[in-house]
Every structure is written in C-alpha cells, then in structure tokens.
Chain A
C-alpha cells in the first residue's frame, strides 16, 4: 500500500504539471513581477502611495480615482515630453511605517521618477525624510504645515493644495467678524490637529478674538459625548475639524448634545468628507458653516474648469460618484492629486525631463514656478507657488449648509492666505 501510494505521488498527471507550470509562468509574467525589474519602453513612472486601507481609506479611494483620471488625460494628450505616464499604486494602510517603506520600494525596486499623493500628515512626516535621503522627488497632497515649519527637505514639495496655516489665516477675519470671537476648538490630537490649534489660535488673536477651550481628541477615539462638556459656556463659535472613520459619530453626537440652542458652528469639511449630508441626524447642521477648498456641490457660478474636472473624474453635481450616488467623494481634497500631477508635468516639461538622471533638474524647475493659472489643469482656482517654501497658496471657500447642501458664502483671495516665512529649501543641498 505504502509503496503504491508513494509511486502514485511520483507520477504526477501531465495535466496538473502543465497547469502548475502555466500558472507559474503567468505569475512571473504578471506586471507585479516584471515591473520592478525592467521596463519595456521609456515611460515616466510615478509612484502613488495611496491610503487604500486604514483610517484614510475614503480619501485614498478618491485620490486614486482622481489620479487615474488625470493620468489618462495626460496620456491622451501625448504624455510628458513624448513619454507615456505610468502610475504605480501601492497601499500604505495610512500607516507611517509602511508609508516610508513604500518610498524605499518606489526608489529602489520600481525606480520611479517621482512619488506623489500622500495625504495624512503623520504618514508624510515619516516618509518625507526617507524621500530626502534617497533624493526622490516627493510631491505631497497633505495639509499639515510641515513644509512651512521648515521640517521637511529639498525633495518634498506641495504644489497642489494649501496648508492649514494658510487656510486658517485666510478665514479667521471672516469668522471673527461674522460668527463671533470666542471660539471652542475640537481637533484630533496629532500633528494635523495641532496645526489647527496653533495657527488658528494665533490667527483669531490677531482679529481680537480668543480660543476659550481647546478639546483635543485622540485619533482612534470612537465615542465623543464625553468630551463635549468641555465646550466653554461663553462659546460663540464651535470650530471642529475631525478625520477618520468615526467622523459621522462625532457630528451626530455633537448634534444630540447641543440641540437647538447651539452657538455658531464652523467646521472643516474634513469632519464630513465622504459623508452624505442628507443623513437625518445631520439636519442640525443646517445654517452652520464649513471650510471647503473646492465646493462639493456644483455652485450657480460653476467654472467650466470645475465642470470639466467633475466629468473626467466621474463626480456628479452633488459631489457623489456618477456610478453610485451614495458614494460621496472627498471633493475638497482630491483635486490636489489632479493639480499635483499637472504641476509635475509642467516641471518636467520645463526641464525637458528624460529620466531619473534628471531628478535634480526637476526639483530646480519646480522651484522656478511662480504661479498656476485657473484652468482645466488647475480647476480649484488660480494659485501662487512659493519656490523657496515649496508650498502653493490659493483661495478658500466658506460654505453655508442650506437645505442639506453646501452653498459658498465667501471666497477668500489668494493673498488672504499668504504668510511670511524665512524657511528657504533652495538653500539646502541638492
């Protein structure tokens, strides 16, 4: 018996052998294996570490869709310097450790020309130093004021979206004059939230206002009612900015807690990105205000650029996916990926970029850029780029919730958000 079974094990059926070999061949030939090794023809290779999973997942999904649409558009128009653009997406799990590992992988295995698309600030803070060491052009689509604080390096740039410091500086005068001067802030207890705390406190003080309570909430918190009694009784304005999977819980509990005798509420749309406003428990938000970088609902005065961009990405007039009206986009953030890609294109064209040997030239070319006019490439609006600071400046929207939709009530100018900084990345080693 034993011998026979041994023999039958040895005599593998031919079909099985063929199947196994075929499978192995298919696996070896798959892009996942071939890609890192050798490229077939000359392309521009962009590494895209998106937050497909983890607490940034809803952002990551839309960053990827937006990037895909932008890459398709670039390639249709002939690519960059005659080369097609190839985007290599990897999931970083919204995890700082994996974020920096991916920078390494993009640089050494995939040998990409540049990396773009990181959003969450703790991931950026962990990944940027590695990009600097590896001399890999690293384009962030984040908001924390890491660049402005001089904490990053020569190879890290943010040409697609403004930072928190600029956003709050632009809006503080409007908040103080329209809503009130005594503010309670509710923010996540890490880098991004701390930027809000520090820069908004300073900006509102300049307007003669003050922050009467600062409520820091741990990033993994799932229940919020317990924090709300810290809202100071003299509060005129509640300022909230929350991120992550529990945002809806936060807003609901705020509504339950406050009821109808609420102070004015000013929130960052981050608290409700990817969340449907027509959820019944959110009706208390009617009449409150939100910061938006890019208005989720198509406005009466919608630009042709916004219309073009919406159509290409597949977003309807309510900011939801055209394929599924329940799939709400992260409209106020994802344009940054689109605009960043076109900024990279502009930089690469300026220095006649041909391959990784020109990465230094790309950085130098980016630093020479001074402005991005409003266009299909920059649908959120005109922007000014500060080459020394590696940071872009643009306008902000303050929108009012009216009947479950956001209507822009005020749009700041680009200058409103400009701030002085003595940081100069161009003096760092290249």
Chain B
C-alpha cells in the first residue's frame, strides 16, 4: 500500500476516534465547567450506555436498525436517570467539594462496574450495527458504519453548541459556569441546574457508548480507556471549554490514528501524554481555556 492510501486509512481511523472522543469529553467538560466536579465515573457511563444498548437491542427482534435506534433513545435516558439520582443522593450532599467528589465518583465507578458485572456478566457482547456496508477503496475496505459515527458526532456536537448558545437552558448553564454565586443571586436555581448538567454529561457519555458498541463490544471493563482519553482531551482543550474540547479531540484522535499507524500505538499514547504535560506547563488552562475565576 502506498503512502496516500495509508494516510487515508490513518485519517479515517483518527476521525472515528475523534468523533467518539469529542462526545465523551464534551460530557466530562460540561460537568466540570458548570459543577467544578471531576467525574471519575464518566467512563462507566460510557460502559453503562453500551451495556444498556445491548439489552435493548437483544430485547427487540427484527431489523438491527430498530434495536439500534431504540438503544440510542433508551440508553441515554436510563443512564441520565442513574446520573441524576447519584447527583442528588451523593454529590449534592458533599456540597460539590472538589476532593470529596473525586473520591465519591471513584466509589460510583466501582459500584457501577461491579453491578454490571453481577447483572450482565463478564463477557464482551456485540450489538449489530444498524446497517452492514463496507466501502471498498482500491486498497482496503472500510466499514460504512464508522463513517456514520463521524457524521453522528458532528450532528450531536452541533446540537450541544445550539443548546448551549441559543437556548434558555444553555444560557442558564453558561451563567452557572461563568459565576455560580452571581447566577444564584439572579435567581437561577444553581442547585437544580447541577443535577441536570450531571445527567446531561452522563447522557452524552451514554450516546458515545451506544455509537461505539457496534464497533467494539459491550464489556464491563470498557470504561477505562474513554475516561483516560477524555481527561487527556479535556486537559489539552481547557477544562470547561467546549470548543477547546472539540479541537483537542480532533487533535488527539488524528495524532493517535496517524502516529499509531505510521509508527506504533505505544508511541501514539506517549505523544498524547507528552502533549498533556506540555499543555500543563505552558498553558495550564488548556489551549482554549480561560483562567479560573
């Protein structure tokens, strides 16, 4: 295979990764931006989304697209409900204290992981993609579903942008992020906003989980990778900055895809970790982040 097709495949792989990553990281970033909570259980919401997608798809017989569409609806709702409940029951009672919430979300991570292990079992199970089609390039074949994931990510990220910038709910969230106390003084129920934001962040993770499950498989340990990469992306992009998150996701996804194909996957991981270190040294607030108030 020549250099051109090689680069094309690397870019496609990188973009798919960037797509999933930007949705996952957007959730993490949103939660941190508004609530100042570092959610260590975020990867488990991805996992939970994927596992619920498997349950939904296996309950529905008929065309795989039906099961997938149902999963895309049911899974984020259920995961959002779990997140909403855990926010009310745990995080709120800790007063969103940064240290305490980190420990609490670590606990949440284990509770979710072990519950899934008990209920769903230790196996990796596949969910059928909504359609099977392989695009045949002259040099290699590529699953059309993966391209669909890229498209879906663009639509979802557009949706997030719209909600945050153009709706009242978005305005409220941005206000809570900008200055919690002043927002409260202006009559914004910051407390309730937190719960909804936490649920929304988890729902984004769940959507990423549903999108990824036909490519990978649902497995109770699958949350670790997305968590680590989301943190890398959010740190590089700037915690709480949505455009920074997207930029960093594309950067990390592409560099990971291209470096791991041209050189080695280990080197790719080293480069993204190095990038985090460099960003922390030279731009502690991330590429597009603003200094904390």
Contact = CB atoms under 8 A, between A and B. Distances in A.
B57 to A, nearest CB: 13
Contact of A248 (B117, B124, B142, B225): B124
A218 interface: yes
Interface of A: 52-54, 57-58, 60-61, 218, 221-223, 225-229, 233, 245-249, 252-253, 256-259, 274, 279-281
22 contacts: A57-B123, A60-B122, A222-B216, A222-B222, A223-B17, A223-B216, A225-B13, A226-B265, A228-B140, A229-B140, A229-B261, A245-B124, A246-B216, A246-B217, A247-B124, A249-B217, A256-B141, A257-B142, A259-B134, A259-B140, A280-B128, A280-B132
Contact of B134 (A52, A218, A256): A256
Interface in B130-144: 132, 134, 136, 140-143
B217 A221 contact: no
Nearest to B117: A53
A227 B6 CA distance: 11
Given A223-B13, A257-B141, A281 B215 contact: no
Nearest 4 CB-CB pairs, A to B?
Answer: A57-B122, A245-B124, A259-B141, A53-B122
A225 B6 CA distance: 11
B260 interface: yes
Contacts of A228: 140
A245 B123 contact: yes
A218 B265 contact: yes
Interface residues of B, number: 32
Contacts of B216: 222-223, 246, 249
Nearest to B268: A226
Nearest to A93: B122
Nearest to B259: A226
A34 B260 CA distance: 53
Q: Is the interface of A mostly helix, strand, loop or mixed?
A: helix
A259 to B, nearest CB: 4
B44 to A, nearest CB: 16
A276 to B, nearest CB: 9
B136 A259 contact: yes
Interface of B: 1, 6, 9-10, 13, 17, 117, 121-124, 126, 128, 132, 134, 136, 140-143, 215-217, 219, 221-222, 225, 257, 260-261, 265-266
A58 B123 contact: yes
A245 B123 CA distance: 7
B142 A256 contact: yes
A222 B228 CA distance: 14
Contact of A229 (B1, B123, B124, B225): B1
B2 to A, nearest CB: 11
Contacts of A257: 140-142
B134 A221 contact: no
A249 B218 CA distance: 11
A177 to B, nearest CB: 29
Contacts of B261: 226, 229
A226 B124 contact: no
Nearest to B1: A229
B214 to A, nearest CB: 9
A378 B291 CA distance: 70
Nearest to B222: A222
B10 A226 contact: yes
Contact of B215 (A57, A60, A249, A259): A249
B126 A279 contact: yes
A249 B17 CA distance: 15
Contact of A274 (B123, B132, B219): B123
A223 B140 CA distance: 16
A60 B123 CA distance: 11
User: Which of B126, B225, B257 has the largest count of A CB atoms less than 10 A from its CB?
Assistant: B126
A49 B36 CA distance: 44
Contact of A221 (B6, B140, B142, B265): B265
Contacts of A281: 132
A334 to B, nearest CB: 15
Given A57-B123, A226-B261, A256-B134, A245 B13 contact: no
B43 to A, nearest CB: 13
B123 A248 contact: no
Nearest to B135: A256
A225 B9 contact: yes
